A and B are shown apart, each in its own frame.
Chain A
Amino acid sequence: MAKTLPKTDVVIVGVGWAGGIIAAELTKAGLNVVGLERGKERKTEDYFMVHDELRYSMRYEMMQDLSKETITFRSHDNVRALPMRQYGSFLLGDGLGGSGVHWNGQTYRFLPYDFQIRSKTIERYGKDKIPADMTIRDYGITYDELEPYYDKFEKMAGISGEANPLGGKRSSEFPTPPMKKTPGIQMFTEAASKLKLHPYMMPAANLSENYTNPDGVARAACQYCGYCERYGCEYGAKADPVVTVIPVANKTGKFQIRTHSNVRRILHKGGKATGVMYIDVTTGEEIIQPADIVVVTSYVFNNVRLLLMSELGKRYDPSTGTGVVGANYAYQVVKGSAVGFFENKQFNTFAGAGSLGISIDDYNGDNFDHSDLKFIHGGVISLSQTGARPIQNNTVPAGTASWGPEFKKQSLHYANRTLAVGAQGSSMSFKQHFIDLDPTYKDTFGDPLMRITFDFREQDKELAKFLAERCNEIVKEMGADKVDFLKELGPYEIMSYQSTHNTGGVIMGAEPGTSAVNNFSQMWDADNVFVVGASSFPQNAGYNPTATVGALAYRAAEGILKYRQSGGLLV
């Protein structure tokens, strides 16, 4: 028999960026909030021995233990889905701060086009530009409406950067100046300018200088140590929930974090949630936490999984295209990139920061004419210097042996002589791409795993090829002696790391029939449930998702406070 605890105002499922932001905002406003986090506590002191590529990058120290829970995958619904038994394509976060701890900190705002993609595409190219099975949608909120929330997120995190010349309007400057320009970044800047492109320094959550945010949280500047992605920051220089929003929530005395608490069900009755049921994973005890409001912020997969297992919202049916929970799963097309080999120049590429880089948006969104192209959208193109750690960076020119004397010689020769320019391609949603409950494979509690049905389509292949060619042009202009770049995007595979930018499944929209939440991340079918995160993206943009997740979380927090006052649907 489950133990039932006293009721709280709000229970948050998963304490990462979205959960942390909402906890801070609600507790500041006086609400009592319980945060349930399935993983362990994390703090800056944990990272004293963090410069360890084997432990963090190769053995996935920060990631979810797949022996307890994973996902299953298939390319097509006529194939049997099988479990992702080992890490590859994407890395699932775990513990306090979630994926917000092991991210790189690349903090782009989406383009205005991203929020109104269906209507803008039709407006410029006509209805036929969008294939019949492509299910892209407008968010039901515009960039301009979301701008104040982006601004809030950037000020909280202390984002370093300069305005994107091809981006949406900004209400204020970045709170801190751009990061330092490395020789490689200089070369990209000059090459891009010669090609009449519009370079700007990558918006970075690695602080360019010491910074105190509006909540009074002071953090030290980034030291460019070269260990961001897959690592926690030993300086607290990289913005993450543990060093920004969570302490603010804690200080109110109204936030109670319970780690090792894995939520299995949202409890509900007559279209309203009554609380959640979770397991204390240290004792196995089943616990019920009643709450007036349930906030689900546990990354794309668990957001969808919790709704489906709790039978909350209308399940997506791919055969009819009806229902919403699990629909519009999208990803990122990152293989369209180019590597330059420089014979006569070495670089300090061992040094770096997760979001140290330079970008152009000339080939992103609808910033270029797609009339004669077989795809829509595009992606940001960047040169980033994240720290070329030695186990994972042994790039040699195509045709080089992959082991033996030639490989050793060449991989050592080029260890500090390569610069890569990469594209972060957008990913459109399709009727055939969705996530649902796997019929066979279970997690450690006996609950079904999430099942992904996804592949790259013509849209992705054309887009990747186009972006790779653009990357090639830039690297050539930078003076590389040899350039290798993608010629053809193969099928989607689960083994090689690509991007932890999974999106969709609980999408946002203007009306209930085609979306699961409104633009406050409030569920149409249960007005006291807010599902926040990249799960609400109807398709994925050509950028990293975190700034947008943060902005949507600030808006959700505002919505929750409004709901607390007035009740009912907010839109």
Chain B
Amino acid sequence: MEGNKSSGLVADKETDSKKALEPAKENNAVSEHSGPEHDNVQMNSNSRRKFLVNSGYVIGTLAVGGALSTIFGCTDNNGGNPQEPTATPGGGKETEIPNYNRALMYFTPAQFRIVDSATERIFPEDDNGPGARKLGVAFFIDHQLAGDWGFNGRDYMSPPFYAGEKVQGYQGRLKRKEIFDIGIQELENYSLTKYTKGFAELEGAQQDEVLKVFENEEANLPTISESFFFRMLRATTLEGAYSDPLYGGNMNMEGWRMRNYPGSQMSYLNIIDKDFTKVEPSSLQAHLVSH
């Protein structure tokens, strides 16, 4: 990758940055008609510029204008998923190509609903923008638990297991996916016992109460450390809100947009010594298709 070329990208981003706060829906609207490649060959402004440079002689004629305008009709700012944000399995309008990432690899639908509700309390929708639900955090966690990480594939899980000192860290034999299974079940049990309703059916304030009990290790669970489970839930919520959209969360890069994080940029050479500069975010998907 050539450094000189990419330093030019920042200028693009700066001019685009006015659009930073436009709602995602508007930006996405045109993507529905953008031709057969729109699902994974979305061209962002960078790749468009590169394409123009590479094929300058074509641009000089009008002969291909129609084809080009069709391609260039793609949205600029969508490095994530082209669909309207939705957190319900099978959601989306009929005219859209479905987001195939929105299905479950690990959770049962009941587990999913509990995690979706709990993470929304941890990272709720507010004036700043979407919460965990619209960002797709529960899908993110589902997908993570189905893989290497959920199986503790790269952790030392050999016996013998002893309860250690606090400073020695996690010493249990349970894998993350098993801790989630138990933790979710315990959230449900606690809710049923205390409120005679499942966790997902509780009022928001009641859900907060249950989560606080777990956070403060006050549920006296015989199975797992509820505060350990809670910390894991909180940590994965932030991961789901802020990791690249490629993993199923941070829908449409809205997590990044809320905090003016520009995602994956090739260069900040032009702004590193400047005052705060808003840069429209870009994802790894955009990087892949633009190079």
Contact = CB atoms under 8 A, between A and B. Distances in A.
A and B associate: yes
Interface of A: 48-49, 51-54, 58-60, 65-67, 70, 73-75, 79-80, 82-86, 88, 180-183, 220-221, 223-226, 234-235, 237, 345-348, 350-352, 356, 389-391, 394, 402-405, 407-409, 411-412, 415-416, 440-442, 491-495
A223 B266 contact: yes
A405 B132 CA distance: 12
B272 A52 contact: no
B263 A347 contact: no
Contact of B169 (A54, A85, A345): A85
Contacts of B260: 346, 350, 415-416
Given A348-B276, A412-B258, A52 B284 contact: yes
Contact of B164 (A82, A389, A411, A441): A82
Given A85-B155, A441-B158, A73 B234 contact: no
B106 interface: no
A494 B169 contact: yes
A416 B258 CA distance: 11
Given A73-B168, A404-B208, A491-B167, A58 B239 contact: yes
Interface string B84-105: 0000000000000000000000
A404 B122 contact: yes
Nearest to A493: B167
Interface string B275-291: 11101000010011001
A83 B266 CA distance: 39
B168 A74 contact: yes
Interface residues of B, number: 70
B30 interface: no
Contacts of A494: 167-169
B165 A79 contact: yes
**Interface class of chain B by DSSP:** loop
Given A220-B3, A416-B259, A495-B170, 5 more contacts: A49-B288, A67-B157, A75-B167, A225-B268, A352-B272
A194 B234 CA distance: 42
Interface string B147-185: 011001111111010101111111100000000000000
A340 B242 CA distance: 23
B259 A223 contact: no
The 4 closest A-B CB pairs, nearest first, are A51-B264, A351-B268, A223-B267, A346-B276
Nearest to B231: A402
Interface of B: 1-3, 6-7, 121-124, 126, 128, 131, 148-149, 152-158, 160, 162, 164-171, 208, 211, 215, 234, 237-239, 241-244, 246-247, 255-256, 258-269, 271-277, 279, 284, 287-288, 291
A208 B121 CA distance: 45
A54 B238 contact: no
A337 to B, nearest CB: 20
A391 B160 CA distance: 33
B154 A415 contact: no
B156 A66 contact: yes
Contacts of B164: 80, 82
A49 B247 CA distance: 13
A409 B162 CA distance: 40
Nearest to B283: A51
Nearest to B275: A183
Contacts of B128: 408-409, 412
B168 A82 contact: yes
A223 B276 contact: no
Contacts of A54: 239, 243-244, 247
A495 B1 CA distance: 37
Nearest to B4: A220
Contact of A493 (B148, B160, B166, B267): B166
A53 B242 contact: yes
A419 to B, nearest CB: 12
A391 B272 contact: no
Given A225-B266, A494-B168, A391 B274 contact: no
A86 B169 contact: yes
A403 B122 contact: yes
Most buried by B among A82, A347, A415: A82
A391 B279 CA distance: 18
Contacts of A74: 165, 168
Nearest to B276: A346
Given A223-B268, A348-B268, A494-B169, A394 B154 contact: no
A256 to B, nearest CB: 29
